[in-house]
Every structure is written in C-alpha cells, then in structure tokens.
Structure 1
C-alpha cells in the first residue's frame, strides 16, 4: 500500500489504489481486503445485474455489519430505483468508510447522499459524463465530497469519443484543476481494462500521476503492484527535493536568505520550494524530517 496520511486528514483522502469488487461476489470481499489495495470498493452499480441488486445489497450489508475496515460502496446512481435503498441499507453499518456516487452531475444529489450517511462517512463523486465535467468545479467546491474520480470509459461513451489520451486530456485536466480549486486531494483516475499487461497498467498510472492525479481505480488485484509503484515518488525527484531542502537549511543556519537563490545552476524561489515539499509529502516518513 502507498497511502500517506497527513496529520488530521482521513487516510482515505491520500489512498492511491482503489480496488473494485462486484457486490454479488461475497467470496471475493475478503480476498480484496487482504490485497495490496489501499481501499476496496464494493460495487452495487455496474457490476450487478438489475435482477440481482437486492441480493447483492444484502451480501454487502452482511460484510459491512462485521465491521470490516477500508470498505467503500459504489451505490446505484441518483434517479435509479435502487439509490435510496442502497443508502438506507448501508448508512449505519460499522464497516462503511465511504460512498462513491456514480454519474455525479449535481451537487444536490451529493447533498442527498450526505444527509443519509453519518458525518464521518466519506463521499467520492465519480464523474462520468459531459455534464459532470462541466459542473466539476461546483461539485468539488460543494463541501459534500472528499475527492473526485474519473469514469473515463463511461465518459468516452457519453461524448462519443475513443478513450485515447488526446480525447480524455481535457476532462482529466479539468478534474485535477477542480480538485485543486475546491481544496480536495488529487482525483482518482479511471480503470485500465487490461489486467495482465503490467507495462500498460504502469504506463497509464504514470500518465495520470503526471497530470496531477493522486490515485487510480483498479479492477483486478494483479493491477495493484504496477499502480502502487507508479505513484511512488520518483527516486531522482526525492533526492533532488531532499538536497534542495538541505541547501535551504544550510543557508538559513549561516544567516543567508533562502527566499531566492541559485542552486545547482537553477533559480530557487517559493514555487520551487513548494514543489520540493510536495514531492517529499508523498514519501512515507518524510513528514518527520527536520528539513524545513
């Protein structure tokens, strides 16, 4: 697992790998929970056929009632006949850490979710449509969600586009920007449909990270290793950040200004220092470093 918890911040807001499990497959729940995923998301929506929704909900209730940890549930979307029933069934159970709302398009729908769950239960808005992308800033700033996630496959279908890097770039960038403007952690990227090609999985995860995403949803345990590795801070970046902050500490100890100075042939100022701190924030234990 790669999550790093900041003081006073729920750990799920920094969780990197989110593994989906079909809600009608309780035989897989424990296996998923024991995997390298930071969080598991039991799915009552796309992974469950309409005729199996009620039975799947019962199975999920049984799992959550045992007080399992790190468990989220993707409920059926607002406007469906199952939405309110899902929330009513799971809201008070001890194992529920959070709810993921699919096809999030309206802050009012997220407000409805928040009214039906305890204050301590988190909410992730899964953005999967053009309307959701257009309203992402509103959703992120609404106060009802703790993170955004990108449903890239459904979004591509919604806009009649191929799921290529070029076609998805604007939506991904908008979600990153909306998250930042709304004071949220980086969003979660959509799933990769291949499960055995670790090179492809790692490549897509690194691309997401380069755009500002802070995690990725997964559909198979075999994907977790490549995704976790991709989101770890690059060793060269970590070395650079530590060296820079050591140089800052040395200048300050010598009574020299560290507001702006030359280091290794580059001009160092406040934004560059902020980047160094951001890099080290992704390294477990770095927050305990005496570096400034």
Structure 2
C-alpha cells in the first residue's frame, strides 16, 4: 500500500545537532535548510555540514532547500550536493519560471520540488509544474507570498492556495503540502489551519518544530468515520459496477470510489 508522506520537518543546515534531532523526531521527510534559516556568513559551513551528513543514507529521506538559483550561493550548493547518496530531493525556493526547474535538473539527478513564493510564481504555477520530469512537486511559501502581495488577512491566500493545488493535479503531481505554521506554541491554531488546508485539497504539511508533527498527522489522517465510509464504498463498488446509491442515500460513482481508495491508503499509516 502506498505510504503518503504527511510531515516535512525543517532544520537549519548550520546546526548539525538540530538536524540530528530532526532525523529522530518521526517526520516522514527532513528538510535541511540552506536558505532562510542560515545567515550569509554561515552559508559555507551549512553547505559543508550538510554534504558531510549526506555522504551516507540517513534514517529517513532528506531533502535540502538550497539557496535561490538566481543568487550567489546556489551554484556552490548544487555542486556540493550533486551525487550524494543520502540526498532524496532538492527544494528550490522562490521559483518564478520553468527555466529555474530546468536549470536545477541539469545540475543534479535528484527529484526536485519547486516553492512558489511570489505573485509571478503563482501566475506560472502550471508551467512550473510541467517544466521537467524531475519535478515531483510544487508548494507555496506563504510568508514571502504574503509580503509580495501586501496581504494581511490569511483568508486572502485561499485563491493562490487553490491555484497551486489545481496546477499540481493538472500536471499529474502529488497534492501539495501546506506551508509551515510559524507559531510553534499555537497547536490549536495549527490544527485548525490544517483542517482548512485539508478541505482545500492539501496533503500534509511542513513543520519547524517536532511538537507540530503529531498535530499535522492527526489532522491529515482519516477519521474512523471516514475509514468506515470508505470501506462501505469499496465494498459496494466491488459488488456492483457503475454509479449507485448506498443504503443511507449517499450516491457513489468512480470519483467517490477513487477518494475512498485514497482514504484507505492514508489509513494504512495508522
């Protein structure tokens, strides 16, 4: 059964002890950050420490968020990381056009993930999502996007969120994960935000602290009632092909069956 990743835990690349803790925290993927979390005078050290970590496969998949490809540090990042056996993916920040993805794909053979963090990136979402076969996913960087748009209310982000979700689906990519919730103490707010994100069509979420991981996983795992309904749908579909109504009056067709299968795949994580 397919195991969908639901949690991506960020850790700063210039703090190897924090990265080590992140690797043991239970996240599906650890994202070592060479970009925003690392000061300019620590970039070289963060790059070297991350390359040393990835000379051997770590206990969980590790992605690295490199510096923006149009900046002064990205070329050295890509050179240092190319071919390392412990690297499972590269996250490309501030992508605004398909050419950025193609540029990274030439430099490294690993799966790529594009972060859309500006109005221009959102406008080019589908073109970016289809830029190269190496691209496995797109996601939002909401802090930068909010600043770019001068947006104060979180609800104003629902349109770009939906735009990215639709672009990913149209390109045949996995559903995007939500961006980080910046207040690590606000677990109730995180849970409510995850519930909203799940309703929009996101799947899973990035985190900046291990305490956020169980909240994210609970929010994105199906409930017992959802699992029971999915099992009922699959059982009915196996007995009778085509559209039909369940005994409780709910209508099912091929789309409902597909959603039920995804629900049961997620339930397999329990």
Q: Deviations over 1:80-106 (max 9, x none)?
A: 110111000011111111100000111
Asked if residue 72 in structure 1 is aligned to residue 56 in structure 2, the reply is: no
Matched positions, count: 267
Aligned to 2:255: 271
Q: TM-score, normalised by structure 2?
A: 0.94
Aligned to 2:267: 283
| Structure 1 unaligned residues grouped into runs of 5+ | 253-257, 287-292
Aligned to 1:37: 27
1:141–1:181 Cα contact (<8 Å) kept? no
User: In the aligned structure 2, how far is the partner of 1:53 from the partner of 1:38?
Assistant: 26
Partner SS for 1:54:
helix
User: In the aligned structure 2, how far is the partner of 1:32 from the partner of 1:86?
Assistant: 21
Asked if residue 107 in structure 1 is aligned to residue 98 in structure 2, the reply is: yes
Asked if residue 234 in structure 1 is aligned to residue 223 in structure 2, the reply is: yes
Partner SS for 2:37:
coil
Partner SS for 2:43:
helix
RMSD: 1.6
2:99–2:131 Cα contact (<8 Å) kept? no
| Structure 2 unaligned residues grouped into runs of 5+ | none
Partner SS for 1:149:
strand
User: In the aligned structure 2, how far is the partner of 1:163 from the partner of 1:28?
Assistant: 32
Q: Give the number of the structure whose alpha-carbon radius of gyration is greater.
A: 1
- Residue 63 of structure 1 deviates from its aligned partner by 0.8
Q: 1:262 aligns with which of 245, 262, 265?
A: 245
Asked if residue 159 in structure 1 is aligned to residue 142 in structure 2, the reply is: no
- Residue 199 of structure 1 deviates from its aligned partner by 1.3
Asked if residue 17 in structure 1 is aligned to residue 7 in structure 2, the reply is: yes
User: In the aligned structure 1, how far is the partner of 2:269 from the partner of 2:222?
Assistant: 13
User: In the aligned structure 2, how far is the partner of 1:116 from the partner of 1:193?
Assistant: 32
Q: Deviations over 1:108-129 (max 9, x none)?
A: 11111111112xx211101111
Asked if residue 117 in structure 1 is aligned to residue 81 in structure 2, the reply is: no
Q: 1:154 to 1:285 in 2, by over 3 A?
A: closer
Moved over 6 A (4+): none
Aligned to 1:247: 236
Aligned to 1:290: none
1:44–1:73 Cα contact (<8 Å) kept? yes
Q: Deviations over 1:171-208 (max 9, x none)?
A: 10001000000000100111101112221111111211
Q: 1:209 to 1:63 in 2, by over 3 A?
A: same
2:237–2:257 Cα contact (<8 Å) kept? no
Alignment of 1:139-218 (within 5 A): 139-143=128-132, 144-164=134-154, 166-218=155-207
